[in-house]
Structure 1
Amino acid sequence: MWRKPHVLALAALPGFALGRLGEPSTASSAAWAAAGAAVRTLHDAPLPPWPAKRHEGATADLDGECEWLVARDVLPADIVTRNRQIAEATFRPFAPVFVHGDLQSSHVFIDGDVIVGVIDWSEAGPGDPLFDLATLTLGREEHLEDVIAGYGGDADLDVIRAWWSLRSLLAIRWLIEHGFDPFRPGCEIDVLRSRM
């Protein structure tokens, strides 16, 4: 018997996104701090029952993307090499916590200074807490202090910045090949250049 598929409608969240990469954020410092506090709440929650995603070959993937960036003159070799070195700090032991896994500022909705919703939980699971903080603040270094203040202040800023380098190095080819522009002001290319 054929069954009609159910389509679930996502009700519109009130408010607006905390920010969008490459665009100025109109959110207040208090809203960014509230986002940090929300991330802390998530990270303090019990680990989910499913296993963490394995990242075997992460170093090889990073090396391949770096080679691609240099071979196609997307970025000068010195910028790629420097960011590759910075990214090494992410390859360290850590205690896994419940992470969102793709906590872009555009996935966090606010109404005034209050978090009213977080979308796109498809990557959620056990992971590195600093990855969530880095994803939230990618291209938003001016709000890192606010986020950390809301989070609780015990985050390693060098590792957060290393995640900025790693995420940007790994994303650029995909973005270009899928019609996105990592060269827009405040986006991945600028993030990598700012580490010099």
Structure 2
Amino acid sequence: MIAVLDYGIGNLRSAEKALQHVGADAALTADPDVAAAADGVVLPGVGSFGRCMEALRASGLDAVALSALDAGKPFLGICVGMQMLYEGSDESPGVAGLGVLPGTIRLLPAGVKRPQMQWNRLDVRPGAGRWLRSEDGTGEQWVYFVHSYAAPAGPDVVATCDYGGPVTAAVERGPLWATQFHPEKSGAAGLAILRAFAERVSVGDLSGASR
């Protein structure tokens, strides 16, 4: 079972429904015990970094997320759910993130419209798992973004998009996948990513994405 963490912020049900659409046994849950027993965990997020972190901690699901990551369970962060994996964000000074990934979330570069609210093409880096590659193997993927802040460059970044320069679009570290874009709003490309995650959970793949 895949637990979609329900900490009361935004339309979290859309991720649940998209996973169910691709055949996953996914359930939106606010119960830490149910989430802790899941085989895979999804952390969605919309809105501000600070509000999401405060709500996640108030729900007790922050501990569930960290335990799942420590246990090496397949884990997917989406949008602000990806940003919360970092140490903090300039959007909410003084609010600590989960600190799983190093660095601070920064405002998109000057000279671009904020938020980025559009479809954009992924530039998938060599070595990224198959979950980010198109069916024809070219890596040509168009996905939907809604954000004003983005994660820093680093060794875990496996895809970027061009928005006033390269912007972090996806990260991968072993069993952890995370996307700045919304796979549940990204048509066939996004559903393929969710299907890959569901398949990974079903086979108990804890070693990282297939190459």
TM-score by length of structure 1 reads: 0.30
Richer in helix (by share): 1
Q: TM-score, normalised by structure 2?
A: 0.28
The structure whose RCO (Cα within 8 Å, separation 6+) is larger is 1
